[in-house]
Amino acid sequence: MVGGGKVSRHHRIPVMPAHLGGSDCGPIAKARPPWDVPRIKGDTVTSPAAADGGAPDLPDYAPIPRSALGPALNEQGYHVGRVERNLYYVTDGVYQAAFLTTRDGVVLFDAPPSIGGNLRRAVDEIAAANDVTNQVTHLVYSHHHADHAGASSLFDGDVVRIGHEETRRLLRRDGDPARPVPEVTFADRYTLQVGDERVELAWHGPNHSPDNIYIHFPDHDTLMLIDVVNAGWVPIYNLNLSEDVPGYMGAPAIALDYPWTHFISGHMARLATRDDVAVHQAYIADIEASAREALAAVDPVPFYVAAGENVWAGVTGHLDAVTERAAAPVIAKYTGVLAAADVEVLTRTTTFTIVSSLRLDRGPSGPVHP
């Protein structure tokens, strides 16, 4: 169990605020769950109360741990930092991309539209400072999602685009001119050699998306894996909006099997560390253990009896109760450890996703009728 009593066998490391640097835990906000909506005809639907400036009032969330924050942005709204030697990352505080300068050109890894033209400015800034070419010759897609690839079309001309074969299929399906289809694809592994630099691309099965790949820089002690771990923060809704729950939950262990010191996660302002990945694993393992306990403890029968003919109301009541029971101790435990842990809808939707996966992917979803 989580939050007192027996320690789950799934919880392998004690997680304390000290893991991520000093920050005091604050009060846990009590936000209304997204499923707590009017259920009786005639109930009033209300919006959050707005302050004088028109913005909704937010709960009094816990302070963000200082270690979850990254470097300040420049006047153009970006930060470009050296990862190691000639490998750099670019962030706007929420999204990340990376690039590698070589004697034969610049290799770009992802092109989030929120960073957009600042990718070009970052490349130009570094190229000018180091007297190297600023010509982007290659662009590697981590996966097909538009929030990480939607500025790809800014880099045209003779740019060679590279991605997983499923990325190509999905981009053909989507037909988005902002995300040109990759010319070079691979199934399992691909070694990208540009100048004297080598990058290893690998697909280890679906996780966040069907095509999300691991990008390893063996000569730069760095791994890039997008949309799985958010350095110092909880995942956004539903496990970072991931499509394959078992694959997502297993991805950090695969990442840790690689040799690396620096981790480019695709989100937030700073690079991640191996400790960040371990804390993320503990958070997910605690949710899984708590979800298993809640599924076993919450009796569905009273919800179905109370709902009568409205079967979906019974299902909703049961699963909401399971999710609330499973999420509450995890929210309490990680507030002040992982940023936004007390934005309760985030951990609750992630918990609901894991509860659903335990029922549907792991099985059985319930007793077998005799």
Give the pLDDT of the chain (370 residues) as one tens digit per residue.
Answer: 333 333 333 333 334 333 333 333 333 333 334 444 333 334 443 445 555 566 778 889 999 999 999 999 999 999 999 999 999 999 999 999 999 999 999 999 999 999 999 999 999 999 999 999 999 999 999 999 999 999 999 998 899 999 999 999 999 999 999 999 999 999 999 999 999 999 999 999 999 999 999 999 999 999 999 999 999 999 999 999 999 999 999 999 999 999 999 999 999 999 999 999 999 999 999 999 999 999 999 999 999 999 999 999 999 999 999 999 999 999 999 999 999 999 999 999 999 999 999 999 987 666 777 8
Domain 70-269 fold:
Metallo-beta-lactamase; Chain A (3.60.15)
Record the pTM. 0.85
Range list for CATH 3.60.15.10 in the chain: 70-269
Q: Are 206 and 212 in contact (CB under 8 A)?
A: yes
